[in-house]
């Protein structure tokens, strides 16, 4: 189960996470990539250049914390240049 820089587009990302956990088989993996602070800045600048607006207020830490509190899913966070990645087994 994976998403790539999509959670910040969801009206209610927690409902999306709930559904990901629900449909993921026991022993399955959950992988979530989300823009980090630098990535959000770069994307916002590109949108501004085109006359549009891009808002991304969610962090991979927000996602990891929710999954830990609600489902006791502990995962690994990997940092990259523009995105951070959360990886966990159910």
- pLDDT tens digit string along 30-64? 999 999 999 999 999 999 999 999 888 899 999 99
CB atoms within 10 A of CB 76: 10
Instruction: Kindly list the structural domains of the chain, giving each domain's residue range(s) and its CATH number in brackets, ordered by start.
Output: 2-89 (3.40.50.150)
Q: Which tens digits make up the pLDDT trace of 4-27? A: 999 999 999 999 999 999 999 999
Q: Identify the bridge partners of residue 84 per DSSP, sorted by sequence position.
A: 34, 79
Cβ atoms of 32 and 85 closer than 8 Å: yes
This prediction has a pTM of 0.90
CB atoms within 10 A of CB 67: 23
């Amino acid at each position: 189960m994976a998403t790539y820089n999509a959670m910040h587009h969801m009206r209610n990302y927690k409902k999306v996470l709930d559904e990901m956990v629900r449909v993921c088989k026991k022993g399955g993996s959950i992988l979530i990539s989300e823009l980090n602070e630098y990535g959000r800045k770069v994307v916002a600048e590109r949108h501004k250049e085109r006359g549009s607006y891009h808002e991304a207020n969610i962090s991979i830490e927000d996602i990891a914390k929710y999954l830990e509190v609600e489902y006791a899913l502990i995962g690994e966070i990997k940092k990259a240049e523009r995105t951070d990645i959360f990886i966990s087994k159910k």
